[in-house]
Amino acid sequence: MKSTNLAITAVVTGLLALGGTALTAAPAAAADKEKCYGVSKAGKNDCATKTSSCAGTAKEDSQKDAFVVVPKGLCGKLSGGSTESA
């Protein structure tokens, strides 16, 4: 095998190994988060609401159906925060 082919094989193998690690770490990180409703600022929500179709479209501060993703346990400490949509 040529040294060029060996180097390319090593790089591809390394990238595949890193990609596999990232894929298994993502669900664990997501498990440590929760949706927190009623605390986002206007235009700063993370996802769609009942009245809009995409992130960043909340029309008012503390909109009850708009959420942001926060570390698990933090939502209850925020003024007006709830883990359930209104």
Structure-block tokens of residue 83 = 């883990």
26 and 38 in a common domain: no
**pTM for this predicted structure:** 0.60
Q: If pLDDT is split at 50, 70 and 90, which confidence band does 6 have?
A: low
67 and 82 in a common domain: yes
Please count the structural domains in the chain: 2
Q: Which domain holds residue 7?
A: 1-31
26 and 45 in a common domain: no
- HEC profile of the chain: CCHHHHHHHHHHHHHHHHHHHHHHHHHHHHHCEEEEECCCCCCCCCCCCCCCCCCCCCCCCCCCCCEEEEECCCHHHCCCCECCCC
pLDDT(69) > 90 = yes
pLDDT(51) > 60 = yes
Summary mean pLDDT of the chain: 78
6 and 23 in a common domain: yes
Percentage of residues in the chain having pLDDT higher than 70: 65
